[in-house]
Structure 1
Amino acid sequence: MGFATRLHEGYSNRKYDIDKKKIEHFIERFFRFIFFLEYQRCSEYSDIELRLNNFKSEFNEILFSVTDEKESAETELFFKSFPKIYKSLENDAKAIFDNDPAAKSTEEVMFSYPGFFAIAVYRFAHELYKNKIPLIPRIWTEFAHSKTGIDINPGAQIGEHFFIDHGTGIVIGETTIIGNHVKLYQGVTLGAHSVTKNLANVKRHPTIEDGVVIYANATILGGDTVIGEHSVIGGNVWITESVPPNSVVFHKGQVTVKNKFPANEPIVFSI
C-alpha cells in the first residue's frame, strides 16, 4: 500500500471534521477579549454585545464539528455558565496578585502571567469536559500547555483562588482534585502510579485539600493519596502516601559548602 493510499484511508476514517487551528485561535482571541487585553478599546456597549454574539456564532460552528445537532444547546449552556467561570478567574487573578510580591497589579497578571492563561483555558475546557464535548477541551488545554509549559488535564477538578507561580513543567492529571486557596510552583507533578489503559475510569491522581502549598519539583502520585489541608510540601519530595492536615513535608539532603580557594593547601598537578 502506497503512502498516499494510507493518508487517503486516514482522512476517510477520521471521525470529526475539525479545524484545530481555528479551535486554538478562538480560545486565544476570546481570552484576550474578555480580559481587556486587546489594543483597541471596546468603549461602546453595543460593540461589546456585537463581539460577544460573534464569539457565540463562531463557537457554535466549532461545536457543530464535533456534536452534530446539539451545538446550539451546548453553546447556550456554555455562555450561561460563563459568568460563574469568569468570577472564578477573577478570584484566580486576585490570588496570584495577593501571593506574588513581584506582581504589581491584577492587570499585569492578566496580561503577562502564563499561570493565569493556563488556568483560564483549563476552566473553559473543564466546562465542556463536564458536558462530554469531545476533542475541544483537550485541544484547548494542550494549546495552553504548548504556550506556557503548564499541562492541566481538562478533567481535573480545581477549586477557587488557585495560584500557579512560574508554572513551567507543572502536570495536573485528569482525576486530580484540588481544593480552594492552593498554591503550586514550577515542576510540580500531580500524577498517577500507573498509566495502564484499564484504569481509565478509576481515580488515578491525588487529592489536594484547601490551603495546601506545594513547592518546586515535588511529585505526588496516586488516586488514594490525599494531602491534608494547610499542609506545606517542600521542593523535590516524592509522595505516594497520604499526608495529614497541617503537615510540613520536606526532603533532607546534605549540602557541602567549601572554599574555592582553600588557604595553605598545596597545588597538585597531575601529568
Structure 2
Amino acid sequence: MLDSNDRTRLIRATDKIVENCDSNNLLCNIRKKKFISKESVVQLVNDIVDLIYPGFYGNKAIDQSNLQHYLKSEAHNVFQQLIHQISNCTLHECEKTNDACEHCFKNSQEQAFQFLEKIPSIRNLLLTDLHAAYRGDPAAKSYDEIVFSYPGFYAITVYRIAHELYKLNIPLLPRIMTEYAHGETGIDIHPGAKIEKEFFIDHGTGIVIGETTEIGCNVRIYQGVTLGALSFKTRPDGSLTKGGKRHPTIGDDVTIYAGATILGGKTHVGSKSIIGGNVW
C-alpha cells in the first residue's frame, strides 16, 4: 500500500508525464480516431505470406481436395484486410481525417485489387529466389527447409510484398511491413529498393539495403552487408536534402561476402563481380 507521501510522489510523476506529452506532440499520435494498428498490419503480412505459401504457415492442413477453396477464402480475407489497412494508412496521412471519405475508400479498393492481381507474379519471382537459395547454399537439404526456416527468404518474401504496395504509392503500410520483417530477421530491406529475380540472402543478420538500391539478377549477399548511402547534403536551414539516387547499383551475377560495405548512389558494381569479406 502507498502512504500519503508515495501517493503525492506518484501524482507528481504522472503530472510530469502529461506535461511532457503536451510539449512533445511528435511522440504522440493524438487523433479523434486511431487509424493504424501495427498489430493489424502484422496480421495482414502473415495472411499474405500464408496465401503465397499455402500449407507452410498456419495450422491448417492443405491438400488437393481443399486447396481451391482455401486459396479463394484466403484471397477474399486478404482483399478485405488490404482495403481496410490501405484506407487507414491513407487517412492517417490525409489532412481530412474523415473515416467516411468515399474517395479514399474507392482508391483503397482499387489498390487492393491491383495488389491481389500481382500475387501470381510475386509468387513467380519468389520461386526464382527459392531456386537461388537452394542452388547457392550447400547446407540446404530441401526447398521446404528454406521456406520453413530461412530468415533471408522470409525477409525477401515480405520485401516483395511491400515493394508492390510501395509502387502503388500507398503510404506507411509497406514500411511497417518491412520493418516488421527487420525486427524478426535482423535484415533491413527498404520497400523502395529494386531487386530483380534469383536473389539470395545467406544467413542474413545485419544486412541493410537502402531505398534507392538497385540489384540485378542472380545476386547473392551474405550477413553484415550494407548497401547504403553516403552522408547527406544539408539545406541552409540544416534539414537534409532528400530524394535522388543515394544507394549503390549492383549488376547481375554478383556475390557480396560478409561484412562488405558499399555506399553511394554513384557506385556501380559490375556484373559477375565478387566483393570479398575481411579474409579470403
* TM-score calculated relative to the size of structure 2: 0.79
Partner AA of 1:27 in structure 2: V
Q: 1:128 to 1:15 in 2, by over 3 A?
A: farther
- Contact 2:52/2:119 (8 A) holds in 1: no
Equivalents in 1 of 2:221, 2:33: separation in Å? 37
Aligned residue for 1:12, secondary structure, equals coil
> C-alpha separation between the residues in 2 aligned to 1:110 and 1:121?
12
Structure 1 residue 157: Cα displacement: 0.4
Contact kept in structure 2, 1:42 and 1:48, CA below 8 Å: no
CA shift, 1:220, in A, is: 0.4
* TM-superposition CA deviations, 1:158-182 (whole Å, max 9, x none): 0100010000000001110000000
User: Who is 1:224 aligned against?
Assistant: 266
- What is the match of residue 42 of structure 1? 62
Q: Aligned residue for 1:23?
A: 41
Structure 1: which amino acid aligns with 2:52? I
The residue that corresponds to 1:131 in the other structure is 168
* Aligned match of 2:80: 57
**1:11 partner SS:** coil
Of 139, 143, 149, the match for 1:102:
139
After superposition, where does 1:66-77 map in structure 2 within 5 Å? 66-67=89-90, 68-69=104-105, 70-77=107-114
Higher RCO structure, 1 or 2 (CA under 8 Å, sep 6+): 2
Distance 1:16-1:219 versus aligned 2 partners, 3 A rule: farther
Relative to structure 1, the CA distance from residue 191 to residue 16 in structure 2 (aligned partners, 3 Å threshold; closer, same or farther) is farther
Q: Residue 225 of structure 2 is aligned with which of 165, 168, 188? A: 188
Residues 49-89 of structure 1 deviation map (CA, whole Å, 9 limit, x = unaligned): 11221121112111110233211000001011111111001
Q: Give a deviation string over 1:114-173, Cα, whole Å, max 9, x none.
A: 000000100111111111111111100000000100000111000100010000000001
Per the alignment, residue 119 of structure 1 pairs with: 156
Structure 1 150/18 Cα, relative in aligned 2: closer, same or farther at 3 Å? same
Contact 2:247 2:263 in 1 (8 A): yes
Paired with 1:202 and 1:115, the residues of 2 have a C-alpha distance of 28
**TM-score where L is the length of structure 1:** 0.82
Contact 1:88–1:161, Cα closer than 8 Å, also in 2: yes
Partner Cα separation in structure 1 for residue 175 and residue 265 of structure 2: 21
Q: Distance in 2 between matches of 1:19 and 1:128?
A: 17
* Residue 3 (structure 1) aligns with: 17
Tell me which of 239, 242, 246 is aligned to 1:200.
242
Work out the number of aligned pairs and report it.
238
Contact 2:130–2:143 (CA<8 Å) still a contact in 1?
yes
Aligned residue type for 1:162: F
Aligned CA RMSD, in angstroms, stands at 2.1
Gaps of 5+ in 2: 1-14, 91-103, 234-238
CA distance in 2, matches of 1:233, 1:31: 32
Aligned position for 1:243? none
Q: 2:202, 2:133 → 1: CA distance?
A: 8
Give 4+ residue runs of structure 1 displaced > 6 Å after superposition: none
Contact conserved, 2:178 with 2:190, CA < 8 A, in 1?
Answer: yes
CA distance in 1, matches of 2:173, 2:183: 15
Q: Distance in 2 between matches of 1:32 and 1:154?
A: 20
**What is the Cα deviation at residue 2 of structure 1?**
5.5
Q: Tell me, yes or no, if the aligned pair for 2:134 and 2:140 is still in contact at 8 Å.
A: yes
Greater helix share, 1 or 2? 2
- For the 8 Å contact 2:51–2:71, the answer to whether it is kept is no
Q: Secondary structure at the match of 1:184?
A: strand
Q: SS in structure 2 opposite 1:167?
A: coil
Q: What are the within-5 Å matches in structure 2 for residues 74-89 of structure 1?
A: 74-89=111-126
Secondary structure at the aligned position of 1:194 is classed as: coil
Give the distance between the partners of 1:11 and 1:227, measured in 2 at CA: 42
Task: Check conservation: 1:180, 1:211, Cα contact below 8 A.
Answer: yes
Distance in structure 2 (CA, Å) of the matches to 1:33 and 1:128? 16
Q: Alpha-carbon deviations, 1:173-209, whole Å to 9, x = none?
A: 1110000000000000001111455332111100000
